[in-house]
Amino acid sequence: NIRKAEDKAQSYRRFPIIFELEEDTITIYVNQYFINKSADATDFKVLKKIKGNFGKIRKAFGNNEEKARFFENKLLSGFAELVQEIMKNEPQKTDEELEEMFKDYGEEIIEEPQKEEPKKEVKKIGLDDWVIAYTGKGESFNIEFDECFIPLEYNSPEKRKEIYEKFVAEKNRKEEAEKKKALEEEKKKSVIQGKDLLDWFDGFGTKKEDDFDKIFGNSEEDFFG
């Protein structure tokens, strides 16, 4: 099933009131749709802008609940009446509708454990007195900035470019060396060496050794060349 993005007006109908909190001011916006003053659910108007900060009140009167509530109520003056007006304009639901709304309340929510993504190997390249950490290889690599170390003396466009070019060159050199080593390891798997080669010769027997000599003679170059 393809889910469509929620209609903008529908999303705004979820917010009858919005508080905009700044350092020492609180601006209260009211959605005019909820108080029957507009058919547009995106139409918000400022109810009032007041001086205050809930966090500062709690910090100052945290141990004095009575004082804290007193100043908080000053900030919320008229707010209870506004909520009542909004509630009055809400369509009333029947008992059956209310039962349906809350029928699944209290049911346990079992969340499936999230699968952990495999951790990417972080590689580091350090030259001179700087270190750059990265994941991936080739052109598909990402620099892990939290694990990089670059002295402040390199804080200029020219120096940063110089470091980056050195890093890329060294990264490419290492990756080419790794490719070459992997290729050599793969080649070793397809040849006979050591004891396996000795067993291979022993497996000929007397008659097979004669056949072998007839074909290759005594020249090692004929066999290995």
Q: How much is the pLDDT for 215?
A: 53
Condensed to tens digits (0 to 9), the pLDDT of residues 186-201 reads: 877 766 555 566 666 6
Q: How much is the pLDDT for 1?
A: 43
Condensed to tens digits (0 to 9), the pLDDT of residues 124-169 reads: 988 878 898 898 888 888 888 888 888 888 888 888 888 888 889 9
The whole-chain average pLDDT of the chain stands at 80
Among residues 86, 67, 89, 90, the alpha carbon closest in space to that of 78 is found at 86
CB-CB contact of 47 with 82 (8 Å): yes
Instruction: Kindly give, in sequence order, each residue whose CB lies less than 8 Å from that of residue 162, ignoring residues fewer than 6 positions away.
Output: 154
Condensed to tens digits (0 to 9), the pLDDT of residues 10-44 reads: 777 788 888 898 989 999 999 888 888 888 888 99
20 vs 117, higher pLDDT: 20
Among residues 120, 128, 123, 122, the alpha carbon closest in space to that of 165 is found at 128
Question: 66 pLDDT band (50/70/90 cuts)?
Answer: very high
First to last CA, the chain: 66
